[in-house]
A and B are shown apart, each in its own frame.
With several copies, the nearest count.
Chain A
Amino acid sequence: MSKTRFDGKFGDYGGQYVPEALMPAIEELEDAYERYVLANEDGFMDEFRERLADFGGRPTPTQYAERLSERYDRDVYLKREDLLHGGAHKLNNALGQVLLAKYMGKERIVAETGAGQHGTATAMAAAHLDMPCEVYMGERDINRQRPNVFRMKLNGSEVNPVTVGRGTLKEAISETMRDWATNVEDTHYVIGSVVGPHPFPAMVRDFQSVISEEAREQMREKAGTLPDSVLACAGGGSNTMGAFAEFVDDDGVELYAVEAGGSTLDVDEEAGVAPNSASLSTGSEGVLHGARTKLLQDRDGQIMESHSVSSGLDYAGVGPELAYLVDEGRVRAVNVDDDAALTAFHRLSQLEGVIPALETAHAFAYLEANDEELGDTVLVNVSGRGDKDLESVIEETAQRDIDIAPDMDAFAGGF
């Protein structure tokens, strides 16, 4: 994680696999990243951190979880990103990028969103910084995530439906890249995770690493020690890299990226469907959305449709740096299935009074594995809150037999 000039590669991963029309913008961004983010030119990082504090609510606490600690017979601490403005870690990145766009003299931002979490965070940041914002969102996702669409509009953003293909996240990313390619001179593309071409993976990690920066300090204060292990769910991997970054050099700290195992790790090659989103655990190397990384792809290299009970993890790729750290043995890639994640969702809600995002619930589900190597002190990143997931939880819980879940009869069919 050294913050000196580097070529955008993490081993063989990373790079800049983008249409030529975008290359100048990417070079401009690389330059801005180096100047403003890495070298704090014009006090960019100071302003960013100040806004994160005042507008975003940082620092978020690291909380000792009494009842989980009892259950697992180890000390469990929670890094409470669910308390960040907007309800997830996403704002760390969105605010950083929108502010950077301002420093770069851009007059407009675009962003993609799947379930709407990154879109809402970007819309909030854009309103706060008075920056016109358009968010691309697949039409199917728009219909599934209407409250998030509404929130973006309330913040003054435009939401552009993407109708091509299946109308989900992947198509929205393509469409946003196309907009960027068209309006590259005055527009910045606020990507939603540690994915895409360099410098996005490194830059998004740097914006998110405030998570581990704080948590490391807070663990020292509260536990008097660094954790033996850090758990974070991994979709694209931004909360993951954010929670890991400052611990990477601490050899005694095991890092666990918990992926969405979906319904099964088996892949339907024929249908081109992976009923999971476990790119690190089951994917292979390839090129997607501008970077070489681990992917869910069929033998030909076509990207597979991924699946997860949590839409924020439902992505066929993963950040290149995370892929690299897993290959290097620094990060352990593990996964839990939909059932385990839902059960963990209910458990955390009941035991700790924290209703987590379904994404986040994956990290907690891995506590059940009772993995020896988790050690005595575990830090779990609560990447977001679950308010956005209540409808899904009703639907998905009703389909399963989760003994700790409350009676769902009164909620059959949603609200």
Chain B
Amino acid sequence: MSNPELDAAFADGAAFVPYLAAGDPDFESSIEYVEALERGGADVIELGLPFSEPIAEGPTIQEAVVRSLEGGMTPARFFEFVEALDVDVPLVCMTYYNLIYQYGDESGPRPFVEKAAELGLSGFVVPDLPAEEADPLREACDEFGLDLVFIVAPTTRGDRLERIMEQVSGYVYVQARLGVTGAQDDVSGQTAASLDRLSAYDVPKAVGFGIKTGDHAERIVEGGADGIIVGSALVDIVAEGHENGDDAATVAARLEEKARELKDGAERGLAQRAPQAERT
């Protein structure tokens, strides 16, 4: 039931999926930043619609959420944001279920999905919505042709994994490790195991959590991921620029550069995957 846009984005096998909170730190700058990500090589962009209680986020993204909310971000503004964006890559909305549920007059997720479809969004990631509670949103997505991405954690196994993989479409978000910090080494370890468990499923696997450099990206893709998701490393650049009062163009340039580093890393990883056997 996959959306052709996301299929296409993962087609080359080394998709770069950056995340930014829409409206961080303000509407206009944020538009520039997202556009910079595309210039830097993004294949899909995860756009965060900030929720006041982001229970799944690390401190970096929590602060981004605070900045964006203080800048006046709301679901309505978010849709304006999407409309104002001039990018060609598919956009995935990352938000919490309560915002989707409350939108519009009718209760339930349908109005939000309808509006998202209208604006050309490709899908959703909803970190506090487990497969068990996802039916209403899944149905609305099906109705409007959007994908519903699910996260698979290192602890997700057996039945749970089945249940998720039955629901997922677009790509599966492979959480590289538990928590939000930790050394790269054990990330690869847990990632490998996760990818292994997922190998039987025919859906793109994008790995995220803690990827910060081109090197990381390279190793993850080399390890078998179809793409990398990068959030905090990019949000850090926005935060730093905001704190230092740098102008939006300067920050956008840094984001573009970082994006390129990550995308290049991913491609190197892909390039090394096939000849891996030969190298030794």
Residues of chain A touching chain B, judged by Cβ–Cβ distance below 8 Å, are 15-21, 23-25, 27, 164-165, 170-171, 173-174, 177-179, 181-185, 272, 285-290, 295, 297, 299-303
Contact = CB atoms under 8 A, between A and B. Distances in A.
Contacts of B52: 170, 272, 302-303
The 10 lowest CB-CB distance pairs between A and B, nearest first, are A182-B179, A301-B102, A21-B153, A19-B56, A24-B155, A301-B98, A287-B98, A301-B99, A20-B151, A302-B52
Nearest to A17: B128
A184 B178 contact: yes
A177 to B, nearest CB: 5
Given A286-B98, A288-B53, A302-B51, A17 B129 contact: yes
Contacts of A17: 97, 128-130, 133
Nearest to A175: B59
Interface string B60-90: 0011001001000011100000000000000
Interface stretch (B22-30, B115-123, B156-164, B217-225): B156-164
29 contacts: A16-B130, A19-B55, A19-B128, A19-B153, A20-B151, A20-B156, A21-B151, A21-B153, A21-B155, A21-B175, A23-B155, A23-B156, A23-B160, A173-B55, A174-B53, A174-B57, A178-B180, A184-B155, A286-B98, A287-B98, A288-B53, A289-B55, A297-B98, A299-B102, A300-B74, A300-B99, A300-B103, A302-B52, A302-B69
A15 to B, nearest CB: 5
Interface of chain A, helix or strand or loop or mixed?
Answer: mixed
A5 to B, nearest CB: 15
Nearest to B60: A164
A283 to B, nearest CB: 12
Given A174-B62, A184-B155, A20 B178 contact: no
Contacts of B164: 20
B101 A301 contact: yes
B77 to A, nearest CB: 10
Please tell me the size bucket of the interface on B: 35 or more
B179 A15 contact: no
Given A24-B155, A24-B156, A165-B62, 6 more contacts: A17-B130, A21-B155, A184-B178, A185-B155, A289-B53, A302-B52
A24 B101 contact: no
Contacts of B130: 16-18, 20, 23
Nearest to B177: A182
B132 interface: yes
Contacts of B66: 164-165
A123 B83 CA distance: 51
B153 A20 contact: yes
Given A300-B102, A302-B99, A174 B55 contact: yes
Nearest to B164: A20
A301 B76 CA distance: 12
